[in-house]
Amino acid sequence: MATKKKTEAPQPPPALPRMEFPNIERFIEAASAHEVASLFSPIRDGLGSLKGPRAEQGKKVGKAISRTEELLSYLLQVREKIESERKGGKGARK
């Protein structure tokens, strides 16, 4: 007698939650390059005053802030490019 095999389709993995950061999004949509540069200056000033073992942690945080500034400036460049393409008309799009 033949046995029936149940073939079940594998279930898709559960969807990852969508990460939303509305405050950051609003800031990036409205910020200028000067505002991005001045955003982290108080933190950098505080990091410069750290002494002892916390100074090492401060260096790591300083590197993270530098990287964050790079990413934010890149986002601003992309935003400016998109805005200029919009103003340029539909002929500029590929």
Determine if the pTM surpasses 0.75.
no
pLDDT in tens for each of the 94 residues of the chain?
555 556 677 777 777 777 777 887 787 788 888 888 788 888 888 888 888 888 889 899 999 999 988 988 888 888 889 989 998 865 544 5
For residue 53, report the phi and psi dihedrals to the nearest 5 degrees: -65, -25
| Exposed / middle / buried, residue 1 (Cβ in 10 Å: 0-12, 13-18, 19+) | exposed
Q: Is 67 helix (H, G, I), strand (E, B) or coil?
A: helix
The ranges assigned to domains in the chain are 22-87
